[in-house]
């Protein structure tokens, strides 16, 4: 079973006021931390961003960049674009701003993948707001479904996932999904990273 990781790093970071991907997490940029975790757990790692040159110096030479064609079109468009270039059985899709993500957590999740039904397109955590769509697994053959959905003019991850069969990934430590979105978030939790 081959697994690739796609990390989305194309957001505006407008609430943070500076690039979240470059936030210092124990001396390491947050994007690099996410990359290192993914690299230890999956076969290949891709960064989808319109700013590859900006991040090249903080990432290893073997990092694969996918140039996001149009900035700020949203995660679903970026994911769709990346699916045209990434070939594997499963794709771990991650946001770049998950400071509490760990290797152990992802390795535990991966152990469940062989038991996911063939008819299920994704294996994702869920909370009261819906699917945690930027921290979970998708079958690579979801590409056609996603293209069909985008052709309807919709761009909501949740609405697309609600049209497909998704198995729930049970996660005890919900802090894993914390997105560092504001300076207040960073200040409040930086001693825990």
pLDDT in tens, 5-27: 999 998 766 677 778 888 888 88
> In whole angstroms, what is the distance from residue 182 CA to residue 4 CA?
29
Residue 49: enclosing H or E segment and its boundaries? strand 44-49
Q: What is the pLDDT of residue 25?
A: 87
- Give residue limits of the domains in the chain: 3-189
Evaluate if pTM is beyond 0.85: yes
pLDDT band at 175 (very low <50, low <70, confident <90, very high): confident
CATH code for residues 3-189: 3.90.550.10
Task: Kindly list the distances between the CA atom of residue 37 and the CA atoms of 103, 115, 149, 188, in Å, as whole numbers in the listed order.
Answer: 5, 23, 31, 23
pLDDT in tens, 25-80: 888 999 999 999 999 999 999 999 988 889 999 999 889 999 987 666 788 999 99
- Mean pLDDT to the nearest integer, 101-126: 96
Q: What is the pLDDT of residue 26?
A: 87
**Beta-bridge partner residues of 45:** 5
> In whole angstroms, what is the distance from residue 101 CA to residue 108 CA?
12
Exposure letters 124-163 (e unless 16+ CB within 10 A, then b): bbbeeeebbbbbbbbbeebbeebeebeeeeeeebeebbee
Q: What is the pLDDT of residue 12?
A: 67
Residue with the bigger pLDDT between 10 and 96: it is 96
């Amino acid at each position: 079973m081959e697994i690739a990781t796609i990390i989305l790093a194309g957001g505006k970071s407008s609430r943070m006021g500076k690039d979240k991907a470059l936030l210092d997490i124990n001396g390491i940029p947050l994007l690099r931390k996410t990359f290192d975790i993914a690299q230890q757990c999956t076969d290949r790692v891709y960064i989808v961003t319109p700013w590859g040159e900006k991040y090249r110096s903080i990432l290893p030479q073997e990092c694969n960049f996918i140039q996001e064609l149009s900035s700020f079109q949203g995660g679903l468009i970026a994911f769709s674009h990346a699916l045209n270039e990434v070939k594997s059985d499963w794709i771990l899709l991650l946001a770049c701003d998950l400071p509490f993500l760990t290797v152990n957590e992802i390795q535990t999740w991966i152990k469940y993948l062989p038991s996911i039904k063939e008819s299920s397109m994704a294996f994702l955590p869920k909370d009261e707001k819906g699917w945690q769509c930027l921290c979970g697994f998708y079958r690579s053959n979801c590409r056609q479904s996603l293209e069909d959905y985008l052709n309807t003019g919709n761009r909501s991850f949740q609405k697309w996932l609600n049209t497909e069969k998704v198995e729930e990934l049970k996660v005890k430590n919900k802090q894993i999904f914390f997105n560092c979105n504001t300076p207040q978030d960073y200040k409040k939790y930086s001693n825990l990273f």
